[in-house]
Structure 1
Amino acid sequence: MNTEIKIALVEDDENLRFLVAERLETEGYKVLEAANGIEAEKVILENQPDIVLLDWMLPGKQGSEVCAEIREQGFDKLVIMMTAKAQDIDKIEAYNFGVSDYITKPFNMDVLVAMIDNKIKFSLNSNEKSEVYRFADMEHHPNTHLLIKSGRKVELTILENRILLYFLKNKNKVINREELMMEVWGYNADVNTRTLDMHIVRLRKKIESNPDSPQFLQTVRGVGYKFVYE
C-alpha cells in the first residue's frame, strides 16, 4: 500500500534506527537513513521524502538546525521531531523552525506507525500539495505550522499548531478540556488545565480580532471550548 511513500529516518542511535527502520519497512514504507545532521540535510534535500523523522539531539548539527535549513531550502513536507524528554517540547516550541509535530522517546512502535499512517491519510492523500485549512481571512498550513492572516504570516508554536488543527478538524463541536489535552500533549503528559488555557489565550491573540471577546475560539463554561465558523 505504501510502496511509494518515502520516510527519512534521522537517528544517531544505531539500535533504535535499525528497529524503527525495520518496522517501517515491514509496514511497506521506503526508509532512507541518516545518522547525523549533516548527512540528514543531504539525504532530505536530494530525495525529498514524504515524511522526515528527525531526532532532536544529533551529532554534526542539531535537529532544530537541520529542520530550519531544509525549510529554508523549500522543503514543505512533514517533519516529526523525536525527542527524549517531554520537557524538550517547551524548548522546541521556543524555536520557530518549522517542525510539523513531535513524538517523545521512548515511544511505542505501534503509536509511531499509527501517527505516520494518520499523517499520510490526512495530508498526503489530500488533493493539495500540503494540507491547508481556510477560515474567515485566514489560512492554516499545519505541516509548516504557519498561519496566514489577511495575507500576513503568523508563526505558530508546535502546541498552538496542534490545538488549532484539532479545532479545525472538529469545527462547531464542543471539545472538553481533557480530550484536548490528550490530543495535544498525549498520554504520558503531566499537564494541567491552566497550561492548556494559557496556550488558548496565546492562540486567541494570533487569530482573533478581539481576543477578549473571541469570535472563533469560544469558551464553553464548565466544559471546554468550541471553534465556531461556517
Structure 2
Amino acid sequence: MSKEIKVAVIEDDENLRFLVVHRLKTEGYKVVEASDGEAAEELIMTEQPDIVLLDWMLPNKQGSEVCQNVRKLGFTNIIVMMTAKAQDVDKIDAYSFGVSDYVTKPFNMDVLVALIDNKVKFVINNEKSEVYRFGNMEHHPNTHSLMRDGKKIELTILENRILLYFLKNANTVINRDELMMVVWGYNSDVNTRTLDMHIVRLRKKIENNPDRPHFMQTVRGVGYKFVAE
C-alpha cells in the first residue's frame, strides 16, 4: 500500500540514516534525506515533506536551528526531533523551536515506525483540528497550545503529551509508571519526581487553584486522575 506520504530523514550518521530510510521505504513511505543542517533546510523547503525526522546534533547547523529557520520560512508540517539523550528533551522544551514531537536514540525501529504511522493519521485525515474541551479551555495537541478564555497558553512537548493522555483517559485513574512510559518512552531514565514536577507546572497553567486542583487530581499511592467536567 503506497501511503504517498513523504518523510525527510535528516541524520549525519550514515549507518543509522541508511537503516531508517530503508525501513521507511519498506513501509511504503516516500523518503528524501540529508546529512547536514544546511542541506536539510534546503531539502525541507524544496520537498515540503509531510513529516521530518530531524537529528538534534548535525554538522553546520543544529537541528534546533534548522527547525526554527524552516518554521520562520512558513513550513508547518510535522517535525520529529531525534535526540540521543532523554535529558535533551527539556532543552527542546525550553525554546519554541516548533518541534512537533521527539524520539530518543537508540530507538527501536518498530517504535519509530509506530510513531510515524501515528503522525500519518493527522496528515491523511487532516486531524489538525483535533481539539479537546474541558472547563473554559480548549487543548490543541498538534500545536501544543491551550486556549483559556480565548487566550493562548503555550505547552511544552512533555506537558502536551501528559495533558493529551489525561484527556484521552478522562475520569480514569492512571498510575505513575504508565504515565511515565507514555510520556518519556520505555528507554528513559526519568524518576517520579520529574513527572510530579511536570504535573505541578501543568496545574499552574490549567487550574484556578493549583494547590487544590479540580482537573488533575492526585490519587494517593497510585497516580493521577483527570476529572473532565
**Taking structure 2 as the reference length, what is the TM-score of the superposition?**
0.92
Secondary structure at the aligned position of 2:128 is classed as coil
Q: Would you say the 8 A contact 2:153–2:205 is kept in 1? A: yes
Alignment of 1:23-102 (within 5 A): 23-102=23-102
Q: Return the alpha-carbon distance in structure 2 between the equivalents of residues 57 and 27 of structure 1.
A: 26
Q: Which shifted more, 10-19 or 87-96?
A: 87-96
Alignment match, 1:214: 213
User: More displaced, 185-194 or 23-32?
Assistant: 185-194
Per-residue displacement from partner, 1:145-196 (whole Å, max 9, x unpaired)?
2222222222212211111111122122111111001111111212221111
Residue 38 to residue 146, structure 1, CA distance change in 2 (3 Å) = farther
| Distance in structure 2 (CA, Å) of the matches to 1:129 and 1:86 | 27
Is 1:157 paired with 2:149? no
1:130, CA displacement in angstroms?
4.7
SS at match of 1:119: helix
In structure 1, give the amino acid aligned to 2:78. L
Q: Secondary structure at the match of 2:103?
A: strand
CA distance in 2, matches of 1:167, 1:213: 18
Distance 1:117 1:129 in 2: 15
Matching residue of 1:202: 201
CA–CA distance in 2 between the matches of 1:223 and 1:145? 27
CA deviations on 1:84-116 (whole Å, 9 max, x unpaired) are 122212222222212121111111111111111
Number of the residue aligned with 2:11: 11
- Pick closer, same or farther for the CA change 1:136–1:38 going to 2, 3 Å: farther
**CA spacing shift, 1:129–1:199, aligned 2, 3 Å:** closer
Q: 1:214, 1:66 → 2: CA distance?
A: 39
- Verify the 8 A CA contact 1:34 1:43 in the aligned structure 2: yes
Structure 1 Cα separation of the partners of residues 67 and 115 of structure 2: 19
In 1: Cα distance, 2:125 partner to 2:133 partner: 14
> Partner of 1:104 in structure 2?
104
Could you tell me how far apart the structure 1 residues matched to 2:102 and 2:131 are?
A: 19
Quick one: structure 1 residues 127 and 3, their matched pair in 2 at CA, closer, same or farther if it must change by over 3 Å?
Answer: closer
Given the two structures, how large is their TM-score scaled by the length of structure 1? 0.91
How many residue pairs were aligned?
A: 229
Q: Which moved more, 1:24-33 or 1:72-81?
A: 72-81
Could you tell me which amino acid in structure 2 is paired with residue 84 of structure 1? Answer: A
State how far apart, in whole Å, the 1-side matches of 2:79 and 2:99 are.
Answer: 5
Alignment gaps of 5+ in structure 2: none
Show CA shifts across 1:16-42 (max 9, x none): 111110100000001111212222222
Cα distance between partner residues in 2 of 1:62 and 1:193: 30
CA contact (8 A) 1:55 1:82 kept: yes
Question: 2 CA distance for matches of 1:42 and 1:135?
Answer: 41
Deviation at 1:2, TM superposition (A): 4.3
The CA RMSD measured in Å over matched residues stands at 1.8
Match of 1:219, SS state, is: strand
Alpha-carbon contact 1:100-1:142 (below 8 Å) kept: no
One-letter amino acid of the counterpart of residue 207, structure 2: E
